[in-house]
Structure 1
Amino acid sequence: MKPSFTKPFYFIFYLCSFVFLSHAFAQKKNDKIEYHIHRATSAVRIDGIPDERAWAEAQLASDFHQVLPMDTSKAFVRTEVKMTYDDKNLYVLFINYEKVPGPYMVESLKRDFNFGKNDNDLLFIDTFDDQTNGFTFGANAHGAQWDGLLYNGSSANLSWENKWTSEVKYDDDKWIWEAAIPFKTLRYKKGITRWGVNFSRLDLKTTEKSAWAPVPRQFPTASLAYAASLVWDEAPPQVGSNISIIPYALGGVRANQEANSPTKFRRDLGFDAKIGLTSSLNLDLTVNPDFSQVEVDQQQTNLDRFELLFPERRQFFLENGDLFSNFGYQNIRPFFSRRIGLNAPINFGVRLSGKLNKDWRIGFMDMQTGKNDLGVPAQNFGVIALQRRMFARSNIAIMMVNKETLNYSNTSDSLVKLNGLTQFNRNLGIEYNLASKKNDWTGKLLYLTSFTPNTKNNDDVFAGNILYTSKKWVTGIQAERVGYSYSAEVGYVPRINYGKLNPQIAYLMFPKAGGTILSHGPTVMLTHYFTKDFTQETENEKLIGYKFNFRKTNTLFIWGAHNYVKLLSAFDPTNYARVFLPAGSEHKWDSFGFDYTSKPQALLTYLVSTRYGGYYANGTRLRLNGEVGYRFQPFVAITMSANYNRLAFEQDPVLPKELINKQYNLWLLGPKIDVTFTNKLFLTNFVQFNNQNNNFNINTRLQWRYSPASDLFLVYTDNYFSDTFQVRNRSLVVKFTYWWNV
């Protein structure tokens, strides 16, 4: 009897329903922990010196709780926080006392620093008290700023930037961080007098992470489910007109020796605009945007059968970006903004996003691209997302995505075939996101369908997962079914026509206090791929591992795995030699390895990741991956990353003769130097050597933040062939941006 493909989804549905009903009316965990914020009784000057009367009269938040290494006691390191406000700004003050003498640990003065490698303070605010979305602001011990958008209850998008100011000062036994956050920077509903809030501190000298409102150690301190209450003495002020114009001017030159084309000079103007329709609903406009200053992607060696995913970094797409980008799963995204403007210029775009009230969120986006150099006609991209909060922390959402090729009827057949153009591609989806009161139960149920012309059976997607996380246990299951003809041209769905089951379980044990090992335990994860009706298995991975978490926060993970793959299409196992294994061939292998990350407190940090074992066609694969970093505090951070893969093939019945007795050595080297002259002047030099795609890249980026959220960029990019080091192309761009509040 054939198994029904719906059974995994019924199981997840019933489990989600049980958890949902169990937690539907639960109160927020730390709701009764309150910080009462009062209007400032004097002017506040942001200088890191809390000598104003307003600070003397503000409520004191102290007695932090330890989160790491253990969450069973008060914090050993003393931290005090105060907040106040006036008509324009929300003010926050952290006073960080020392427990252990010595220099503070910081990576650099660069914005949005690596959390785990810096002594730092973080503020988390949930302006709608919905335990799902919010803002985070912070600084490290030398004044480098941190800001981001909180989504999914605890995740932070640090690519978001906005206008605010802060200062850090030192005393004999403490360091002080003081900040002013304009209300125009925040999004909140008129009249709401109760927000969510939490304060977090990381002190690397004692390896202690602490929070004012207690947070279980298995969750990040950004978890809004554990936020305390920020109680206002009156409704936060309405800021009046909230309009920002952000124009840019750009000049540059580009030489493409590979294409033997003449040198091109660039002179561009454009602008973004942010219009606050309400204090919680924002309209973004962009005309002729340019993203040349965005940091380059960190390349990866790709030995997978599917394309890699790189994150969105362009500012226009980031605010409330979770409404669009987090619909679905990591490998089932009906919308992925990096598809827009990938090979064509963006002419203009409009985006409406934010809160309608505490329960409803809306997102609307429309982007227009122009005709590209290959003759591909202009295209229009439209997205609508609507999200409704369900009870305490869960939500239900719908999304519609449309990609339309303009003037399609006049496009030549050869151009259509060469670029895979369709007249339109549309997706419609609905999902339910489960999040329990304590964040210990999370899950999702998803349905998607697509519409493309000349496709008789527009197929669909079913997916669901449930995950339980406690101090000792992590256990869950995920199921996916993606149809044969499902298509998401504006999304990221690298694999179609499959069914998948992915159960996992992990357990942690805690030895007696005082030892070098804080916790340790096993992990088991099974990943099974089937035909889409779940009747025939096509691929699986069985992984068992053991993890050690050390008291100094270094970690070690040892693992072993067994893999089976039945190729459904021809595949080049090197993604380099262009020699393919036949469809239908079956492959099995075993492998093992370990991953080690050093303690972050040291000036010299490193990580090592290894893999050795079998590979396709009875081959062998050795992978050595590592990163070494050294910091000359606080001005210079040097990182050297290296990824080496050795693929060796001998004899196998399905092995093409071109691969017999062949060995391939794939290198990806990436030295990076960050020089932070001040917390407003940064120089980044990033070099990447990748012989898999025959490219050697140099990217140098100088950024001067001459005013809050206003920058001058100088970006130089050079690309060479990695085998001959002949020049492929190079460019130089100067870009000036200014944030103007109307």
Structure 2
Amino acid sequence: MLVFLKWFTNFASMHSLLITSLFLFFVLFKSNVLGEEDLGKVRLVYGDLVYISGLNGAAPEGSQLAAANTSDPSLEVIKHVNDMVIARKLDYRTHLSENDRLITVKRADAPLNGRARRQAIATRVGEGPRVDGRLDDAVWQQAVPVDGFIQRDPDYWMPSTERTVARILYDDEQVYFSFECFMSEHYQMVANNMRRDSEIWGDDNVQLLLDTYNDRQTGFFFFINPLGAQRDLMLSNEGRSYNEDWDCNWTCKTQRYDDRWTVEIAIPFSQLRFKPGEDMVWGLNMARNIASMNEESQFVVGRRSSSTRARYWTSDIGELRGLSVTEAKRSMQLKPYVLPGTSRDYTIAGSDERGVFETGVDLRYGVTPNISLDVSYNTDFAQVEGDQEQVNLTQFRLFFPEKREFFLEGANLFSFGQAAERTGGGSRPPTLLFYSRRIGLEEGAKVPIILGTKVAGKEGRTSIGALNAFTDDVTVIDTEEDDTTNVYQTNYSVVRLRRDFLARSNIGMMVVNKQVNDPVQGWDVYNRSLGVDFSLSATEELNFQGFYARTWDSEIGDSDDARYVSMDYSGTLAAFRARLLDVEESFEPAVGFVNRRGDLEGFRQYDLSARVRPRPENDMGIRYLSIGPQFQMVTDRNNNVKNWSFEVSWWTNFNTGDWWRMEFSHTHDVVDESFEPSKKRDDIAIPVGTYDFSTFTFGPSPSRSRKFRPRVFLEAGSFYTGHRYTVRSEMVFQPTGRLSIETNWNSNWIRLPLVHLNITAMSTRIMYSFSTDFFVKLFAQWNNDRESVSTNFLLNWRYRPGSDVFLVFDNGFGTEGDFHRKNRSVLVKWSYLLGL
């Protein structure tokens, strides 16, 4: 017993000494007496960012650091990448050099989201700079420089290979941005586009994202390339949705030098929506794309993603501070137009040339700094290009995008429903409660819009939208069907409300009404829709969406519902989607769009998809892969399967920006009513029955940075009672930034038991830009199944911001029998924007 007590005493003494020593070491560790393992070493100072090694887990995100010889914090940790700690300077004037030693002086209790903490400062000046791209105005010396752009791709969170410096100023009227994009000796500039709203994201470019509400859900996005070409978008739903047809009246100029190219931008406050005040905070991100290296660097880099849309995500941005605009002007813009011309319809026997002279006016008034009123009298869309010819070999309806300016402004707010997307075996059009192309168009023919009004904007966390349009009587002649349709006076009304909640979620409602002045029943003919929807972002990666809608129709005499719910997970290496759409028999939104099969009334649609996006570390030039299955099933309301499709796709993205695509799909289709795959061969029909068929698709998709981009996809497989072979191609040739030649070809060879059939649609678009504000375009397309050829020549000169001259030549021809002219029009449209 004594031996045991002696042993225990010695053991306890030794361990007490050890515990005491560890305790003293811990106390010293927490004091200013430091061990070597506690010190971080500066490896790189990059703008306001500092790359530090040696801290490891001693400095979680949100921790503050100081130089080893002081306790005053000078840095804040915002990111851990591999074995490096990345911190930002709390004061951009802080001086640090490589090999300086740092210590953690304040550990974060919990990791902070550092991505939203990087800040840029806007400097107020009495008068802004002259916008010419030269950046030689002395006023730019007052701006706080912003550099240290970080790669989003390919080397995540590493410094950009080329230096970029941005500056921000503002005065009473506008906010100004400048970029200096430096170029090393072997830099290869890519600039293939000069025309406004062209595909400049494939060029070298700089990008600007402004979240003026600072709600991390909406924003304005701007592109500029070295030739001065502009592109602008309006963002919503955290950047997952965007309207690329929105046009902002802003100014930018560029200059090119041997060692850099420069950009100067001026955006009027009247073109943006925000809440005025002192010391405003806007969400901000800035980026630079280096096309020859397929590299994109940003001011603030969010979570890693292979999605090309990551640049639009408003949740992963920094802050713009220093703005004080205490009173935003309630701008009023008046835009009258005159349109003289001539037209002739050759399908009407004895028709003559008909003179055309129309006038109209568009008014925009800022009701509040955040809400605008648009009024359009005698709305005209003469300059809008015709719809792209499509080949439809299915039982479903075709969907065409909106192109008319009046309906594009604020289109994201009026969006309600299930978005379009690719699914197994093809692509799925959206399901929409409001589809603006139902207004002013009937069977592809124009219906006069006498008056249109629209209110849209956001106050606090509530978005408000209202639209009303009144169309006139017209008789629509369908020459293909040799039929006429009488369209009566119609009033369309839409009201939309949406309320933000939590950090990045919203709930909303929409009411749609169509009222027709029928010659017999008067204004008692109607179709009405009511719906509520939500978007819930549980995390940055996980989002839930859904809606419930109901329609009432005076002619159907019944009302029915539609329901939709979805879950989307989009992580760094994987993504998963699940969808359910349930449409009852009499659900018919007359001002909406439902992708309903001809033989189905009510239906249920299920969608599942999953993808993995590995980034192999090899020398094969592969940046990442995108691999995964997609499954879709459609049933009737009694859960009888009517269609299902399964697809496995493999996409390879190379460091050059080129793609290679392979897909295998299998489709099971139940045909309850025969249908004709060809419009001109109504003697050929797919008979009632159950069919299984498979297709294999493969082909390359070159980088948009290349001057010649041949995209060719080949498909082969079974098709109902026979086989189908398809060639789809898009050829783009841009020898200079001024000239662009595009050709699209979709040809289908169908082999059925008793007949062979070819259905082809082809289009060519040739554009030449004399400057960023003056271009000509020739667009021609042919569809052998519709036996039609159409041509459109457009000259567009924007002689001042918001003011245009258009010269339009339209021709339509028929190819049935002898080649013959069907219609012709020559129009000149002149508009002038007045700021009042």
| TM-score, L = length of structure 2 | 0.80
Identity percentage over the alignment?
Answer: 26
Contact kept? 1:303, 1:575, Cα under 8 Å = no
Residue 559 of structure 1 deviates from its aligned partner by 1.1
Residue 339 of structure 1 deviates from its aligned partner by 0.7
Residue 94 of structure 1 deviates from its aligned partner by 1.0
Aligned ranges for residues 133-532 of structure 1 at < 5 Å?
Answer: 133-154=218-239, 155-191=241-277, 193-215=280-302, 216-219=304-307, 220-234=310-324, 236-260=325-349, 261-330=351-420, 331-343=430-442, 344-357=447-460, 359-373=461-475, 374-409=485-520, 423-438=525-540, 440-495=541-596, 496-512=601-617, 514-532=619-637
Residue 546 of structure 1 deviates from its aligned partner by 1.4
Match of 1:693 among 786, 801, 804: 786
Select the structure of larger CA radius of gyration: 2
Q: Which residue of 2 aligns with 1:726?
A: 820
Q: Which residue of 1 aligns with 2:205?
A: 120
CA displacement, residues 65-91 of structure 1 (integer Å, 9 cap, x when unaligned):
112234242221221111110000010
Q: 1:676 to 1:27 in 2, by over 3 A?
A: farther
Name structure 2 gaps, 5 residues minimum: 1-109, 421-429, 476-484
CA displacement, residues 185-225 of structure 1 (integer Å, 9 cap, x when unaligned):
11111227111110121111221112110032334212111
The question of 1:613 aligning with 2:717 is answered yes
Aligned ranges for residues 75-94 of structure 1 at < 5 Å?
Answer: 75-94=160-179
The question of 1:592 aligning with 2:696 is answered yes
In structure 1, distance between residues paired with 2:762 and 2:281: 50
Residue 519 of structure 1 deviates from its aligned partner by 1.4
Contact kept? 1:594, 1:611, Cα under 8 Å = yes
| TM-score, L = length of structure 1 | 0.90
CA displacement, residues 129-151 of structure 1 (integer Å, 9 cap, x when unaligned):
11221112231110111122112
Contact kept? 1:41, 1:54, Cα under 8 Å = no
Match of 1:536 among 640, 656, 662: 640
Equivalent residue letter for 1:177: V
Contact kept? 1:65, 1:74, Cα under 8 Å = yes
Match of 2:740 among 637, 640, 648: 637
Deviates more, 1:150-159 or 1:177-186: 150-159
Equivalent residue letter for 1:341: G
Contact kept? 1:42, 1:52, Cα under 8 Å = no
Contact kept? 1:93, 1:178, Cα under 8 Å = yes
Paired residues in the alignment total 694
Q: Which residue of 1 aligns with 2:88?
A: none
Q: Which residue of 2 aligns with 1:3?
A: none
In structure 2, distance between residues paired with 1:63 and 1:326: 40
Name structure 1 gaps, 5 residues minimum: 1-24, 412-420, 651-659
RMSD between aligned alpha carbons?
2.0
3-state DSSP of counterpart to 1:665: strand
Match of 1:64 among 149, 155, 158: 149
In structure 2, distance between residues paired with 1:692 and 1:78: 54
Q: Which residue of 2 aligns with 1:559?
A: 663
Contact kept? 1:38, 1:84, Cα under 8 Å = yes
CA displacement, residues 13-58 of structure 1 (integer Å, 9 cap, x when unaligned):
xxxxxxxxxxxx9987622111121202654110112122331121
Residue 161 of structure 1 deviates from its aligned partner by 1.4
Q: Which residue of 1 aligns with 2:19?
A: none
Contact kept? 1:520, 1:549, Cα under 8 Å = yes
Q: Which residue of 2 aligns with 1:40?
A: 125
Residue 547 of structure 1 deviates from its aligned partner by 1.6
3-state DSSP of counterpart to 1:727: strand
Residue 99 of structure 1 deviates from its aligned partner by 3.7
The question of 1:709 aligning with 2:802 is answered yes
3-state DSSP of counterpart to 1:159: coil
Contact kept? 2:642, 2:670, Cα under 8 Å = yes
Match of 2:158 among 73, 84, 87: 73
Residue 158 of structure 1 deviates from its aligned partner by 2.3
CA displacement, residues 103-150 of structure 1 (integer Å, 9 cap, x when unaligned):
532222111121442111111101001122111223111011112211
Relative contact order, CA 8 A, sep 6+: which one is greater?
A: 1
3-state DSSP of counterpart to 2:413: helix
Match of 1:669 among 750, 762, 768: 762
In structure 2, distance between residues paired with 1:512 and 1:166: 40
Residue 255 of structure 1 deviates from its aligned partner by 1.1
Residue 364 of structure 1 deviates from its aligned partner by 0.5
3-state DSSP of counterpart to 1:325: coil
Q: Which residue of 2 aligns with 1:741?
A: 835
In structure 2, distance between residues paired with 1:615 and 1:29: 54
Equivalent residue letter for 1:213: V
